[in-house]
Chains A and B, each alone.
Chain A
Amino acid sequence: DGGITQSPKYLFRKEGQNVTLSCEQNLNHDAMYWYRQDPGQGLRLIYYSQIVNDFQKGDIAEGYSVSREKKESFPLTVTSAQKNPTAFYLCASSIDPPGVTYNEQFFGPGTRLTVL
């Protein structure tokens, strides 16, 4: 079955620690994205990647870092510099990079990060 997996589903972190959220897709999609959702808010873009070894900042990239060494993987690191890291994090992918064709983004199940 093709899809997007995110692990773990729940993650707890002590303040001041870095933590990495996993995102893997086997859909052979070129583009991948990271969003953050806070209660009562829409999804806000953190980072996106159009192709392997390339990524761009989204609207709220401060305190986050990513890598795209493989087409199927796009891990997100939440660093200690992120002031309010507690949130629900969603990874998504799309067939073509934005601006090439219109295509919907497919989302993973999400990871809820709680900073203690």
Chain B
Amino acid sequence: DQQVKQNSPSLSVQEGRISILNCDYTNSMFDYFLWYKKYPAEGPTFLISISSIKDKNEDGRFTVFLNKSAKHLSLHIVPSQPGDSAVYFCAATSAIGYALNFGKGTSLLVTP
């Protein structure tokens, strides 16, 4: 059963605008969340993470928001650039977890 869900398989955004990628989780034991970016035929690269003691974490153009009561997190990319076009995976784990639980990914296309 999928414990981490990314319900939008794809998203298209114009260059310079904001990209918002969403992720929902079902396991209340999850307390650490990560976003990975992946290009075709390559391994995922770590982008940004957030602990459950925070509700926001920012790194340059990337911000992750966490709403624990809704079991929802989102990744904001501002401003979006064509090089951001990739598949973005949301992942979650817990202090007693042994691995990352991944969503199915959202394919982001940033058009000029």
Contacts and interface: CB of A to CB of B under 8 A. Distances in A.
A107 B104 contact: no
Contact of B44 (A6, A107, A112): A107
A51 interface: no
Contact of A33 (B9, B45, B99): B99
B89 A43 contact: yes
Contacts, number: 61
Given A43-B89, A56-B98, A106 B46 contact: yes
Interface of B: 2, 4, 9, 32, 34, 36, 41-46, 49, 51, 89, 93, 95-100, 102-105
A102 B54 CA distance: 14
A47 B103 CA distance: 18
B99 A45 contact: yes
B100 A105 contact: yes
A112 B41 contact: yes
Given A88-B41, A98-B93, A106-B46, 15 more contacts: A4-B43, A9-B41, A35-B102, A40-B9, A42-B4, A44-B102, A45-B100, A58-B99, A98-B99, A102-B93, A104-B46, A104-B49, A105-B46, A107-B45, A109-B43
